[in-house]
Amino acid sequence: MIKISKVNIQQDDIDRLVEVIESGNLVHGKYCNLFQEKLGSYLSVDHSILVSSGTAALYLSLLALDIGPEHAVLVPNFTFPATVNVVKLVGATPVLVDVDATTYSMTSESLARAIKSYQGDQSLKAVIPVHEFGFPSDMINICQVAHRHDLYVVEDAACALGATIGDKKAGTYGDIGCFSFHPRKVITTGEGGLVVTSDQRLAERIELLKNHGIQRDDGRVDFAIPGHNFRLTDFQAALGVGQLERLDGWIASRTQLATKYHQLLQPLVERGSIYLPDLTRGHTWQTYMILLSEDFNRDLVIKRLRSLNVETNIGAQCISSIVHMQEYSQTQDLTVSRRLGKSGLALPMCEAYSEETLTSVVHNLTLVLDGFGA
């Protein structure tokens, strides 16, 4: 079976992991400090805070910004549901924004349109642009629109560690940036996440909210506010340190493979069967998703590919198709995200794959799509 992706843990990761477990310092140890520091300098940010997951990073960001029931938050309608769940979990109202058909991400235009057509009672307080599948969103113009409307910007860069926009990294343009180290991302610590910001006050709040509200002062411990426990363990951090060093090389390999997919898939594009994603510079290619023509039943394509030993999946979710989210889809034009949710097909992608693997994927995809014509 050609899997959708593979975890890339190497011997030095395992050696560090064993070292932590043998040391007995499982939670507050040297690798959390080291990983956090390395991530901060990789991203060139003032404050980097490790947390237990990408979802925890997003949730803490909204809490730190005091977003609650009187607020509405703009989110893309095509993403992993965590982006939108956290908005509901702090009591705020999601406002769904359509995405672009080839980058799968929110644009400054779709954001401006959603703001203009918004008619709800809650006041618009923040926007969460998602760098979908590692695509480097146009943060300069998105931030400009956001600031014109007095909105906080929380970047969901869960798939986009290492994505670049201009001379800066994705996740460092907004007030807060959030990352994930889930096994489906390019580097992993099992579960894990990161919050970054250049705002000292926000960083202090996030530290408190992450760790029981604990404030240390001259060896004295105060519980300043009610907090969660969203810490990362030291053995998780030990897994991340070596992978971070390999990240840029892995992104370069993924970029080559994405270019190869484009060549191999060209015949299917020419006959109108599929549409390809934009080959934007600075992409991490966490996921390579194509769009099937409406002639094909996507779920059946996934099933038939599976029977040929190729694992594919739907990529991301159309949020307005989720039952408990449907009430938020009434006034916006969500045509593109609905189409992506219906016909998106994520193909196998991993830095460890060879061009031959991709050739085999495309060969089998062509067989399956030809079968629909028969």
Residue 243 within binding range of ligand PLP, rule CB under 6 A: no
Beta strands (DSSP E) in 42-122 are: 47-51, 71-76, 78-79, 93-97
Could you give the residue ranges of the DSSP H alpha helices within 187-233? 200-210
299-303 contacts, C-beta under 8 A, 24 or more apart:
301/345, 301/365, 301/368, 301/369, 302/345
Residues 192-221 touching ligand PLP, rule: CB under 6 A, are: 193
Out of 61, 77, 83, 236, point to the residue binding ligand PLP (CB under 6 A): 83
Selected range binding ligand PLP among 1-9, 29-37, 74-82, 302-310, rule: CB under 6 A: 74-82
Nearer to ligand PLP, 60 or 290 (CB): 60
Task: Give the shortest CB-78-to-ligand PLP separation in angstroms.
Answer: 10
**Which single residue brings its beta carbon nearest to ligand PLP?**
54
Separation between Cα atoms, residue 169 and residue 163, nearest integer Å: 6
Residue 180 within binding range of ligand PLP, rule CB under 6 A: yes
The secondary structure of 3-35 as a DSSP string is -S------HHHHHHHHHHHHHS--SS-HHHHHH
Are 283 and 159 spatial neighbours (Cβ–Cβ below 8 Å)?
A: no
Nearer to ligand PLP, 156 or 368 (CB): 156
Out of 79, 312, 317, 343, point to the residue binding ligand PLP (CB under 6 A): 79
Separation between Cα atoms, residue 3 and residue 260, nearest integer Å: 18
CA atoms within 13 A on the CB side of 170: 28
Out of 45, 62, 90, 159, point to the residue binding ligand PLP (CB under 6 A): 159
Out of 17, 49, 75, 82, point to the residue binding ligand PLP (CB under 6 A): 82
Nearer to ligand PLP, 29 or 193 (CB): 193
Separation between Cα atoms, residue 319 and residue 156, nearest integer Å: 15
* Distance from the first to the final alpha carbon of the chain: 26
Separation between Cα atoms, residue 248 and residue 71, nearest integer Å: 38
Task: Give the shortest CB-96-to-ligand PLP separation in angstroms.
Answer: 15
Selected range binding ligand PLP among 76-84, 88-96, 220-228, 348-356, rule: CB under 6 A: 76-84
Residue 80 within binding range of ligand PLP, rule CB under 6 A: yes
Residue 128 within binding range of ligand PLP, rule CB under 6 A: no
Task: Give the shortest CB-160-to-ligand PLP separation in angstroms.
Answer: 8
Residue 274: its H or E element: strand 274-275
Task: Give the shortest CB-161-to-ligand PLP separation in angstroms.
Answer: 11
Task: Give the shortest CB-135-to-ligand PLP separation in angstroms.
Answer: 11
Residues 31-60 touching ligand PLP, rule: CB under 6 A, are: 53-55
Nearer to ligand PLP, 80 or 261 (CB): 80
**Amino acid code (one letter) for 74:** L
Are 75 and 319 spatial neighbours (Cβ–Cβ below 8 Å)?
A: yes
Residue 158 within binding range of ligand PLP, rule CB under 6 A: yes
Look at the chain and count its residues: 374
Nearer to ligand PLP, 80 or 152 (CB): 80
261's CB contacts (< 8 A; 6+ apart) are 276, 288, 347, 358, 362
Site residues, ligand PLP (CB under 6 A): 53-55, 79-80, 82-83, 130, 156, 158-159, 180, 182, 193
